[in-house]
Structure 1
Amino acid sequence: MNTSYSYPVSQLLTLGQFFEEVDGRPATWKGYAKLGVDNRHIPELIAVVADEALHTGYGPVPFAPVHAWRILGALKATEALPALVSLLRRIDDDFDDWIATELPCVFSQMGGQSVDVLAPFAADGHNGSYARGGACRAMGEVASGHPEQRGRCLQILMTLLRSFEDNEQTLNTEIVSVLLVLSAAESIDLIREAYAKDCVDLDCVGDLEDVEIALGLRTERATAPKRGEFFQRLLELSNHQEATRPHTAGPKTGRNDPCPCGSGKKYKKCCLEV
């Protein structure tokens, strides 16, 4: 770990998790201005983001890269894009939810130039499917935040989805999810093809009718919902547990007790006689 970060960047190593509200949205990242970090410190902020040792361990130090990428996003420091896109690999390698949640927002803050690095990363089959999905999610954020980029991002996402039979299901599902967020009804024919080949996870985005309803292409279901293997296993497990659960009989109703049916009569004059 590089311990020679200069002030004020060195403050990031001591802030910890709760310096800012943590909901993954830049609107809550308002407290960094008072630290005195600005454009002069961009190279050092990039170094913090890329410092492998800062991404592990306990205490406040592992949150330094989080604070650094938030500041880089606020500064619209596009020179940080190569370092930031490399972080997406940690979603597969380390199951890093912070990166999966926040980096798409950071890329959106930097605008259309983000797509220049996100598109080739998402297309590179050497990257893990979760990392590639993170890049797709980031392009969705860019398209949402910058409407002039929507057409470009949709074209990239749909090009990726056309390889649905070669892609991992995880990636296809992420792309479909992003297309739903973007209300991309123009992608429905391609989505239908992917569903026809069972290349989308039903447990994550629902079945085809769910997708069509979400895109405004139908108003109600025509068939019963279809669910994926994971959901079916949970249902089977639940049914098995219910079937094998010991059932304890309740207290026996006496002849002169009120009838359990609620008629107001005594049990002996009501259901006991039936």
Structure 2
Amino acid sequence: MMDASYPPPLDRLLTLGAPDIDEWLEYRELGFGEEHIPELIRMATDEELIRGETEDPAIWAPVHASRALGQLRAEAAIEPLIARFHESDEDDWVAEELPEVFAMIGPAAIPALSRYLQDRSQPRWPRMTAATSLKNIA
């Protein structure tokens, strides 16, 4: 297992493994609340976890953390999650699930997503992820 240090209840996300594509866990029922948002953001963007060994269940913790952030409507997560768009070329999860997360966060994400979409210096596929996110919010 990776050397990731997270307090409870976040440490549980390190052991859940691959999430179900269609059935999202109810993260509030697992004990997550607004007080966990900063650590969930840290986990959702943790490069060690994201780039970890495929057989380690901890590599799925950023997915669970992002889903929890969506369910918590965590506006503080908007910019950090947008920063993951550059991974959409190599990580299907980013392109497929982050738009769902942004839909849960809601209209507060529209300005940042719009700026990203309009930034022609960003690659095409990450901008498509921003467009899909905006569509899902609408």
Moved segments of 4+, more than 6 Å: none
2:99–2:134 contact (8 Å) kept in structure 1? yes
1:220-231 correspondence to structure 2 within 5 Å: none
1:174-253 correspondence to structure 2 within 5 Å: none
Q: Displacement, 1:2?
A: 5.9
The corresponding residue for 1:82 is: 79
Letter in 2 for 1:139: L
1:2–1:51 contact (8 Å) kept in structure 2? no
The corresponding residue for 2:126 is: 131
Q: Displacement, 1:122?
A: 1.1
The corresponding residue for 1:70 is: 67
2:4–2:49 contact (8 Å) kept in structure 1? no
Q: Displacement, 1:29?
A: 1.7
Q: Displacement, 1:116?
A: 1.1
1:46–1:83 contact (8 Å) kept in structure 2? yes
Distance 2:3 2:57 in 1: 15
Check if 1:13 corresponds to 2:10: no
* Structure 2 residue runs without a partner (length 5+): none
In structure 1, the residue corresponding to 2:28 is in which secondary structure? helix
2:44–2:62 contact (8 Å) kept in structure 1? yes
Higher relative contact order (CA 8 A, sep 6+): 2
Structure number with greater Rg is 1
* Structure 1 residue runs without a partner (length 5+): 144-274
2:66–2:101 contact (8 Å) kept in structure 1? yes
Q: TM-score, normalised by structure 2?
A: 0.91
The corresponding residue for 1:97 is: 92
Distance 1:120 1:89 in 2: 15
The corresponding residue for 1:22 is: 21
Q: Displacement, 1:123?
A: 1.3
